């Protein structure tokens, strides 16, 4: 499997519900480094997984509505604990939908899977890794 990874970051605020989260139940901020790894079984006729510039721009656009946002106030995330793990899945779903919508052109249609990793620090991160579903998962 061939892979190409692009990276960006988001700065968010959020709070959690549940005693397991201790002081994180209060509103707090986080900065995540976000990696999106695009995979396909064979390279395009140009020798690419996808165009790196197009992939980086798509990631930036998908992250924009979350950046500098209090996730507790985002309607589609209401009532959810927006943990690092949850956000990796949510960003995966949003990228999947953008790819299905043609954001990466013909090369996007040839992708087999996508892995999204959110790095909370240099020692801790979470990811969501799944086949692409056309934005329906």
Rounded to a whole number of angstroms, the CA Rg of the chain reads: 16
- Identify the H or E element spanning 84: helix 84-100
> Quick one: 116 exposed, middle or buried, by C-beta within 10 A (0-12, 13-18, 19+)?
buried
pLDDT tens for 60-79 read: 999 999 999 999 999 999 89
- Domain limits, the chain: 2-14+49-131
Residue 134 has pLDDT above 90, yes or no: no
CATH superfamily, with its number, for domain 2-14+49-131: 6-pyruvoyl tetrahydropterin synthase/QueD (3.30.479.10)
47/5 Cα distance (integer angstroms)? 15
Rounded percentage of the chain residues whose pLDDT exceeds 90:
95
Residue with tokens 């709070």, as numbered in its chain = 15
Contact indicator for 130, 52 with CB cutoff of 8 Å: no
Q: Which pLDDT band, with edges at 50, 70 and 90, does 137 fall under?
A: low
What span, in angstroms and rounded, lies between the C-alpha atoms of 83 and 100?
26
pTM of this structure: 0.94
pLDDT for 85 beyond 80? yes
pLDDT in tens, 86-129: 999 999 999 999 999 999 999 999 999 999 999 999 999 999 99
Q: Is residue 81 within 8 Å of residue 89, measured between CB atoms?
A: no
């Amino acid at each position: 499997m061939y892979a190409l990874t692009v990276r960006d970051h988001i700065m968010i605020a959020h709070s959690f519900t549940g005693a397991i989260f201790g002081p994180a139940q209060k509103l707090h901020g986080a900065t995540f480094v976000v990696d999106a790894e695009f995979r396909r079984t064979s390279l395009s006729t140009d020798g690419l997984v996808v165009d790196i510039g197009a992939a980086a721009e798509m990631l930036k656009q998908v992250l924009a509505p979350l950046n500098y946002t209090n996730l507790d106030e985002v309607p589609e995330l209401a009532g959810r604990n927006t943990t690092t793990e949850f956000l990796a899945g949510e960003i995966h779903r949003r990228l999947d939908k953008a790819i299905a919508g043609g954001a990466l052109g013909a090369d996007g249609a040839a992708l087999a899977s996508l892995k999204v990793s959110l790095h909370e620090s240099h020692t801790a991160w979470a990811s969501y890794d799944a086949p692409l579903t056309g934005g329906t998962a």
